[in-house]
Structure 1
Amino acid sequence: MSFDGSFTHAMVQELNQSLATGRVSKINQPYANEVVLTIRANSHNYPILLSANPTYARIQVTQIPYVNPPVPTNFTMILRKYLQGAILKEVTQSANDRVVHLHFTSRNELGDQQELLLIIEIMARHSNVILVDSATDKILDAIKHVGSDQNRYRLLLPGAQYITPPKQDLDDPFQGPRDDLAQTIRDFPNEEVLATTLQHQYQGLGKDTAAALAAILHKSGTATDLFTKFFAGFNQPTPTLEISPKNKTSFTAFPYPTEGTQESAETLSALLDHYYQDKAERDRVQQQGSVLIRVVRNELKKNRTKLKKLQRTLAETENADDYRIKGEVLTTYLHQVNRGDTEVSLPNFYDNNALIKIALSNQLSPNQNAQKYFKRYQKAKNAVIYVNEQLKITQADVDYFSNIMAQIELAAPKDLVDIRLELQQGGYLRDHDHQKKAKKQKRQKVSKPDQFTATDGTKISVGKNNLQNDQLSLHTAKRTDIWLHVKDMPGSHVIIHDENPSEATILEAAQLAAYFSKGRESSNVPVDYVPVKRLRKPNGAKPGFVIFTGQRTVYVTPDSDVVERLQN
């Protein structure tokens, strides 16, 4: 289900019950299009996420931790100026549209009371978060500035008059059904056609909601009663996560008719946290790590192209002996070769004197042609050593950047800082922070690995990138600790902080190693483990690369539930 008007209706009720009369205690903007307001209400802190993300726009209470930028944005500073300490009076919805108003009251700089609106418009790529002065309807600021060149209908700029989004000429389903509902059902016996018709008659019906309503209206019973009962479900929601037979997930305010399985959540916000946690995280990584992804992809493409060229060159060197033989045959039978010939066939004394055809340059003498073949033979022979060395280096680069790409795919936004630092240190990415260059820089610290606790209480650390892996495995871990890594694929270094862990702990740590690796979606993933003292980093090796001996291997299937249970 999309975050449609009907789901917004249910969410607004949930937020009102939890947040009304609460006070704003913190305001942060962890990501470009998302704001988190912490509201203290009923002796609890509620982090409210207002997301204008083009794909995952929504409003909810979230328990997912965020890492805030070191310097707050201008929009954050405006929100703090006007809303810090403000009281949330109520949360309302514009008809059954995806527009939510948070009504605040606060004191201005003179101590006078003022009314403010924080509006979130959930409209895909046009989504926005806007702060408005209720008395004048003037926009104080917006998370996305929209000028006249982008939208002729309205401006979303500081100082502009706030104009509501264009209204659709549709009925609000929470006001009851239309008089012609029964006739509409008779006119459109096909559920898909009826669902489309309902979307054109009633406001705020997403595709899934309209399909569920159409399926219910085709059941026996009075159409008005069925319609009213359906929308009453949004007033008393039973948050539901649906898993289709094709393993696709969707969320609904209450159980819809489905052929898949369904799971319930305690609140709508908890449901969204569960649904969006991985999806939104991937999207943020793609956005924040776009430069890193481009650099790594370019390096991968460059090195893979180089690898193919080197392999072709190596294949050509396999013909080196042919050049030598042709040169020797020419030298032996020079008297039979005439200047100006373009080819000649001569007895090959290496092959029972069978005739061998030799191409010649008519610009060279017979002896010069023979010397040319000897030179080509020597060049090819010398190239073998160089090409094999370059193949080894290039393959290592391909493996290295494939490993970084896998780390970005598995990374949380906070992990990108270390990956960026690693690419800068390797000379693959420029540091454009001129202020830091001008000043005497302090060495940037590598972030700490993620911490987990095994069922028996043993501490387990997981590195999420190469710099963390090096720090963890080569400097932090004791020589007697146990090191784990997936076999023959990119993944995290995992350390069990115990010299003699139980079999159960080794399997749990192996689960972590498999989950934080390229094999996350695979089954029966091999994981090597060995004492840290058997690790060795070759001189000049790339970050995160180690070699080891005497390892043992276990096989596990990654399970997110196990990872969640072990997380501190």
Structure 2
Amino acid sequence: MSIILFIILLLFLIGQQVFFEVFQILCYTDFRLIRNEESEMAFDGIVVANLAYELKEKLINGRISKIAQPETDELLLTVKSASGQYRLLISADASLPLLYLTDTNKPSPMTAPNFCMLLRKHISGGRIVDIYQPGLERIIHFKIEHLDELGDLCRKELIIEIMGKHSNIIFCSEDGKIIDSIKHVSAQMSSVREVLPGRDYFVPDTMSKADPLTVSFEEFSSHLTRKPMPVSKAIYTSFTGISPVTAEEICSLAEMDSSIAAKEYSEDLLLHLYTQFSIYLSAVKEHTFTPVIYFNGSEPKEFAALPLSHFSNYMPKEFSSISQVLETYYATRNQLTRIRQKSADLRHVVQTALERNRKKYDLQLRQLKDTESRDKYKVYGELINTYGYNVAPGEKKLEALNYYTNEIVSIPLDPVRTPQENAQRYFAKYNKQKRTFEALTVLCKETAEEISYLESVQTALDIALTENDLAEIKEELTNSGYIRRRYTKKKVKIKNKPLHYISSDGFHIYVGKNNLQNDQLTFHFAVGNDWWFHAKQAPGSHVIVRTNGAELPDTTFEEAARLAAYYSSMRGSDKVEIDYVEKKQVKKPGGGKPGFVVYYTNYSMVIDSNISQIRLCAD
């Protein structure tokens, strides 16, 4: 209520037009912050150094033949150099700033935006004479030589700032004056720096960070020891271009606990840390980069320009180019994000059904608990029939010996009824609760199975990687009656395959991505001597190991169990119990839902859900 009153007061004091302008700026700033928080990864100075070196190798002396602006905050430059033609994608998007070479073209709008037209006027046909990174900042400068309207040789600078929500593409004259930028930043939006035509360009030193490439041991030690925080945080908050991941890597290489404050370490240990810090960053000075992506299964978890030894739990994949790393990483992450967005409707259907069934199950259990006293009413009826001849008319209770327990019990009576009528009343209560118990027992079992099934569909949605995966899950939900089928003239056949891995020993392992695939794998694909794996009492995938009659080594058993743990609701756990058994022991009960099986004898093992070392086949 106080916020509403504040807005009304603000509207009254400053006027409607000014209010909406201020409100728009605030919303724009907050929205950018929210979007930036959603982005897990960000360029650090080492990645930008790798990019600058790669671009310098390929684009120097190249001419800019095409300039396009496919998105509001994105440029696509085509550069022809001696080594070939390249496309350079530059994005200043607040949530996903990007800069890399790509083979992919993007359609441009019919009418080019003003910033694009300005660049075409000034640097179309211009020659790139230098590309450099100031210090280890997340900034790349392109110096471009071109002829002006009078035919005189001029130089301009295109400056790309990869700084999260502050990312921008700024076009400057040779003397450092801003000609224009893809995003205008006024004094209302930033009190630190305006990015507007006619202003001087500068990089605001808001964090007072030191240059890690030139820092001495004395400066290094002074920066770390004066900060009362973990040593890894002190590193990335003290030096330009160092990310938290890089700081953790340096501490790992030095074999030092990153959570302890630097002032707790002796000078010798700090010198050892400085030595590892310098060795690690020497690769930046020498341009010996190793672009790599670290995968957790099929999901990329991190990328880097230099190796990360403390990511040993993930599968590294090295690339020859940092541009390939960025394009692969963000394309895969975007695909996962897009699939999660497209699965929102299916998730809503499943979640709604789950909540309804869980409420129903709780109610059924409470009702079932109310029937626990049914046998008592049967005994009361029998005891009244046995001892009722002693009951005087109008009595409200009967004290009698319970010959089942040899205890005296007090049985309430209805004084207006005869003993026989009281006995019949208790027998009627018993029979009613007995019927209720029998019906509820069946209903509780059915509801529990329904909840288990819906949880398995929920897990399948978490596993889904492609639109075909979602289409198959939708078909499953339609067949189960959760989604109404829409009849069309042409039925599209869904082509989808289970995941295919190869164990360290060369055995083929298949993983179902949903319940339909689980049934297909277990009962149509696998043969009797193949091995079947599943997380114990948890929704998840069926995992089949093809034996071809051979005996499985222990390593293959463990890797198949890890896959069963990873593709289940227990993903991420260090200890997951896995049931495994020969496929011929697995049966499908009559009328069972998709993916539901029974087995009466099995082996079990407890294992982690790390599958980074298991090879995924491309088919």
Question: What is the TM-score when the length of structure 1 is the normalising length?
Answer: 0.61
Once residues 467 and 259 of structure 1 are traced to their aligned partners in structure 2, the CA distance between those partners, rounded to angstroms, is 35
Q: Deviations over 1:307-353 (max 9, x none)?
A: 344344334433212112223445663883666x7x52422464588
Q: 1:9 aligns with which of 34, 48, 53?
A: 48
> How far apart are the structure 1 equivalents of 2:275 and 2:490?
70
CA shift, 1:273, in A, is: 9.7
> Offset at 1:93?
5.9
Which amino acid is the alignment partner of residue 356 of structure 1?
Answer: V
- Could you say if the C-alpha distance between residues 165 and 386 of structure 1 is closer, same or farther in structure 2, counting changes exceeding 3 Å? farther
Structure 2 residue matching 1:234: 3-state secondary structure: helix
Q: CA RMSD in A?
A: 6.5
Point out the more displaced range, 88-97 or 9-18.
88-97
**Which stretch shifts more, 306-315 or 453-462?**
453-462
| CA–CA separation in structure 2 for the residues paired with 1:36 and 1:411 | 32
Q: 1:399-438 alignment to 2 at 5 Å?
A: 399-414=452-467, 415-429=469-483
The one of 336, 340, 357 aligned to 1:303: 357
Query: How many residues in Structure 1 have an aligned counterpart in Structure 2?
Result: 507
Indicate the residue corresponding to 1:445 in structure 2: 494
Q: 2:592 matched to which residue of 1?
A: 541
Letter in 2 for 1:416: L
Alpha carbons of structure 1 residues 225 and 60: separation in structure 2 relative to 1, 3 Å:
same
Percent sequence identity over aligned pairs? 21
Aligned to 2:448: 395
- 1:172-187 equivalences under 5 Å are 173=210
In 1, Cα distance between the equivalents of 2:461 and 2:506? 30
1:392, distance to aligned residue in structure 2 (A): 1.9
Shift of 1:388: 1.8
Report how far residue 292 of structure 1 moved. Answer: 3.9
Q: Residue 149 of structure 2 aligns with which residue?
A: none
8 Å contact 2:374–2:434 — kept in the other structure? yes
User: 2:473, 2:514 within 8 Å by CA — same for their partners in 1?
Assistant: yes
Tell me which amino acid in the other structure corresponds to 2:189.
Y
Q: Which amino acid aligns with 1:544?
A: G
Aligned counterpart in structure 1 of residue 549 of structure 2, from 482, 485, 501 = 501
Q: 1:210-269, CA deviations, whole angstroms, 9 ceiling, x for partnerless residues?
A: 796989996799xx99999886543335559999xxxxx987655899999999966684
Letter in 2 for 1:321: D
Cα shift at 1:405:
3.1
Structure 1 residues 469 and 458: CA distance shift in structure 2, 3 A: same
Matched residue, 1:464: 513
The secondary structure found in structure 1 opposite 2:361 is: helix
CA separation of 1:345/1:409 partners in 2, compared to 1, >3 Å: closer, same or farther? Answer: same
State how far apart, in whole Å, the 2-side matches of 1:172 and 1:410 are. 42
Q: Could you tell me how far apart the structure 1 residues matched to 2:496 and 2:275 are?
A: 58
User: Which residue of structure 2 lines up, in the alignment, with residue 326 of structure 1?
Assistant: 380
Cα gap change, 1:256/1:426 in structure 2, threshold over 3 Å: closer, same or farther?
closer
Give 1:380 deviation, angstroms: 1.0
1:238-277 residue pairs with structure 2 within 5 A?
238-239=289-290, 269=322
Q: Give the conservation status (yes or no) of the 8 Å contact 1:483–1:493.
A: no
Q: Distance in 1 between matches of 2:74 and 2:581?
A: 40
Match of 1:375 in 2: 428
Answer yes or no: is the 8 Å Cα contact 1:116–1:133 preserved in 2. Answer: yes
Distance 2:74 2:521 in 1: 33
Note if 1:560 corresponds to 2:606.
no
Do 2:504 and 2:555's aligned partners in 1 also have CA atoms closer than 8 Å?
no
Q: Give the aligned residue type for 1:346.
A: E
Verify the 8 A CA contact 1:454 1:566 in the aligned structure 2: no
Correspondence for 1:314 among 356, 359, 368: 368
1:71 aligned residue: none
Distance 1:439 1:566, change over 3 A: closer
1:508 is displaced (CA, Å) by: 3.8
Q: Distance in 2 between matches of 1:133 and 1:416?
A: 48
Is 2:43–2:162's contact at 8 Å kept on the other side of the alignment?
no
Shift of residue 465, structure 1, vs aligned partner: 1.3
Q: After superposition, give the CA deviation of every residue in 1:22-74 in whole Å (9 maximum; x if it has no partner).
A: 9999x9x9xxx9999999996899998979695x87666899xxxx9xxxxxx
The secondary structure found in structure 2 opposite 1:319 is: helix
Task: Kindly provide the amino acid, as one letter, of the partner of residue 541 in structure 2.
Answer: S
The unaligned stretches of length 5 or more in structure 2 are: 1-39, 117-123, 146-155, 191-195, 252-261, 295-300
Cα 1:161–1:510 shift into 2, 3 Å: farther
Q: Deviations over 1:384-434 (max 9, x none)?
A: 221221122122112212322333344435533432442344343578xxx
2:409 maps to 356
Of 534, 552, 562, the residue aligned with 1:486 is 534
Tell me, in whole angstroms, the C-alpha distance in 1 between the residues paired with 2:160 and 2:284.
Answer: 22
Contact 2:543 2:563 in 1 (8 A): no
Distance 1:173 1:455, change over 3 A: closer
- CA–CA distance in 1 between the matches of 2:593 and 2:332? 30
Counterpart CA distance in 2 for 1:24 and 1:426 is 57
Alignment of 1:66-145 (within 5 A): 77-78=107-108, 97-98=137-138, 121-123=162-164, 126=165, 137=180, 139=182
1:482-539 Cα deviation digits (max 9, x unpaired)? 46332645443345667x33224897487346404436654784422225xx866445
**What is the CA–CA distance in structure 1 between the aligned matches of 2:426 and 2:267, rounded to whole Å?**
85
SS of residue paired to 1:356: strand
CA contact (8 A) 1:22 1:40 kept: yes
Alpha-carbon distance in structure 1 between the residues aligned to 2:228 and 2:205: 22
Rounded to whole Å, the distance in 2 between the matches of 1:225 and 1:384 is 74
Call closer, same or farther: CA 1:37–1:296 in 2, change over 3 Å: farther
Cα shift at 1:562: 5.2
- Kindly tell me: are residues 399 and 197 of structure 1, through their superposed partners in 2, closer, same or farther at Cα, counting changes over 3 Å? closer
- Are the aligned partners of 1:241 and 1:271 in contact in 2 as well (CA < 8 Å)? yes
The Cα offsets for residues 145-171 of structure 1, whole Å up to 9 and x where unpaired, read as x999xx9629xxxxx999999944456
Q: Is the partner of 1:503 in helix, strand or coil?
A: coil
Amino acid at match of 2:373: N
Q: What residue identity is the alignment partner of 2:380?
A: K
Give the conservation status (yes or no) of the 8 Å contact 1:493–1:513: no
After superposition, the Cα gap between the structure-2 partners of 1:95 and 1:369, relative to the gap in structure 1 and judged at 3 Å, is farther
Unaligned runs of 5+ in 1: 69-74, 106-114, 155-159, 244-248, 432-436
Output the TM-score relative to the length of structure 2. Answer: 0.57
Query: Which position in structure 1 is the counterpart of 2:559?
Result: 511
3-state SS, counterpart of residue 440 of structure 1: coil
Query: After superposition, what is the alpha-carbon deviation per residue over 1:269-309, rounded to whole angstroms, capped at 9, x for unaligned?
Result: 48889999999887666555444445444444443444344
User: Relative to structure 1, is the Cα distance of residues 487 and 199 closer, same or farther in structure 2, using a 3 angstrom cutoff?
Assistant: closer
One-letter amino acid of the structure 2 residue matched with residue 397 of structure 1: E
C-alpha displacement of 1:381: 0.9
Mapped contact 1:11–1:60 kept (Cα < 8 A) = no
Q: Which amino acid aligns with 2:375?
A: D
